[in-house]
């Protein structure tokens, strides 16, 4: 199998993942719409008890709107995923068609890096928010509970690397255009 065919296959897989993500987003949006229209679904408060090792968790009167917020957060993450899959599809399709040093590839690389950068910086904010809302309702028999925000450093480093790769890619596009004009 030729490498070009492999890139086109990867483009097809990314396109398929893009559409699966879009359909999932519509399902999440539909679920959020149903819950916001008929709020009786969220009226019952939860009561959860868990025993993990020496810890004894008693979650009482957990706000049911945290489930709604979780759906919204999945929706935002789904939008980021859909945009990334679309840009990967563009990148692989162009490469499979023999168009490596073109502006659309550079734009796709920058978009992927930017989304990864945003995700690494703000990805844990919703988790910390939810933890701060739930923490007062947790009663630990043994131990303590610490809530802290952290940046996803491997994702941050990867995002910086990909953005720098985009800078080099733009330079390569300029050099390729100069070579076309010279010949």
pLDDT bracket for residue 67 (50, 70, 90): low
Show me where the domains of the chain are located.
Answer: 3-182
**pTM of the entire predicted model:** 0.78
Average pLDDT value over all residues in the chain: 81
| Residues 21-32, mean pLDDT to the nearest whole number | 87
Per-position b or e across 63-82, b if 16+ CB within 10 A of its CB = eeeeebeeeebbbebbeebb
């Amino acid at each position: 199998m030729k490498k070009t065919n492999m890139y086109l296959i990867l483009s097809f897989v990314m396109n398929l993942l893009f559409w699966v993500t879009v359909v999932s987003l519509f399902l999440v949006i539909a679920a959020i719409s149903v819950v916001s229209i008929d709020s009786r679904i969220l009226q019952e408060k939860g009561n959860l008890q868990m025993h993990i090792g020496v810890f004894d968790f008693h979650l009482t009167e957990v706000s049911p709107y945290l489930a709604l917020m979780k759906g919204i957060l999945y929706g935002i993450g789904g939008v980021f995923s859909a945009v990334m899959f679309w840009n990967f599809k563009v990148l692989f399709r162009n490469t499979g068609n023999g168009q490596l040093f073109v502006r659309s590839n550079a734009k796709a690389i920058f978009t992927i890096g930017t989304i990864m950068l945003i995700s690494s910086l703000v990805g844990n904010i919703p988790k910390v928010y939810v933890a701060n809302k739930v923490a007062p309702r947790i009663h630990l028999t043994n131990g303590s509970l610490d809530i802290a925000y952290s940046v996803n450093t491997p994702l941050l480093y990867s995002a910086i690397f990909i953005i720098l790769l985009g800078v080099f890619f733009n330079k390569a596009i300029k050099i390729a255009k100069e070579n076309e004009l010279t010949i």
